[in-house]
Amino acid sequence: MSSYRLKRYLSVFLWATGLALCVRLFLVEDYRVLSDSMLPSLLSGDLVFVSKAHYNVRLPFSTYELFKINKPKRGEVVVFSLPGHGMETYIKRVVALEGDEVSIRKGELYVNGKSAMASTAPTATESFDGGLPHALLWDKKDVPDYGPVLVPQGHFFALGDNRVQSLDSRNFGPVPLSCLKGKVSLIWLSVGPQGVRSDRFGWIRS
């Protein structure tokens, strides 16, 4: 192979690597769901694409915002980290925003005094601001009462769709907006104990 062709291949490789790195740092990243806290919306073993630039663009490897694009909305499924929790990443649903009052009574979520419950039979579902309902893993006798609490400025309140078994804002409190990593947009692959779950591919309802 001539030195010219070698340099050409190397140049293409470096450009492709740089482009892929930029996409991963600023635009899209993939995450693997490692718990059942978002059942039935997300299963352990789902691999999802996260739109990193949906809310803001950050300086890589930091929480410093270069510029803000959108604020999260109630009902969106998001990825975030927490101060003091190392590299651990959480995938939850935004249920309340700054200034909202949040409470749970008899298993039902209330935001600003209004129940988010859309139905309880045959499947429990919630809906926010007139959006499409999403299913819950829910049993009112197993979901303890909570609040009311007021979400402070610069924060959001996040819950798992599996209200019976989820580590979320009921445990660690409202989440700073600066901790947002992005919006979950697509399940691109799902691998369970029996192998690939081909029926799991699709857009996330949020």
Whether residue 39 lies inside any domain: the answer is: yes
pLDDT at 68: 74
Average pLDDT of the residues in 93-105: 97
Whether residue 6 lies inside any domain: the answer is: no
Q: Residue 174: is the preceding peptide bond cis (ω within 30°)?
A: no
To the nearest whole percent, how much of the chain has pLDDT over 70? 80
Active site residue 37: yes
Of the candidates 29, 26, 13, 43, the residue with the CA atom closest to the CA atom of residue 199: 43
Which stretches of the chain are DSSP H helices? 3-22, 169-172
pLDDT band at 74 (very low <50, low <70, confident <90, very high): very high
Number of domains, the chain: 1
Whether residue 180 lies inside any domain: the answer is: yes
* The model's pTM: 0.83
Whether residue 9 lies inside any domain: the answer is: no
Average pLDDT of the residues in 143-160: 96
pLDDT at 61: 61
3-class secondary-structure state, position 107: coil
pLDDT tops 80 at residue 161: yes
Which residues make Cβ contacts (< 8 Å) with residue 53, sequence separation at least 6?
A: 26, 27, 69, 182
Whether residue 128 lies inside any domain: the answer is: yes
pLDDT band at 53 (very low <50, low <70, confident <90, very high): confident
Which residues make Cβ contacts (< 8 Å) with residue 64, sequence separation at least 6?
A: 58
**Residue-wise pLDDT tens digits, 113-130:** 999 999 988 889 999 998
Q: Give me the domain span that covers residue 182.
A: 28-203
158 contacts 166 by C-beta, under 8 angstroms? no
Query: What's the CATH code of the domain at 63?
Result: 2.10.109.10
Whether residue 147 lies inside any domain: the answer is: yes
Average pLDDT of the residues in 65-81: 86
Active site residue 92: yes
The one catalytic residue in 52, 92, 181, 183 is 92
Spell 22-43 as b/e; 16+ CB within 10 A means b.
eeeeeebbebebebbbbbebbb
pLDDT at 18: 43
pLDDT at 206: 64
Whether residue 8 lies inside any domain: the answer is: no
156 contacts 100 by C-beta, under 8 angstroms? no
38 contacts 93 by C-beta, under 8 angstroms? yes
pLDDT tops 80 at residue 56: no
3-class secondary-structure state, position 25: helix
Whether residue 1 lies inside any domain: the answer is: no
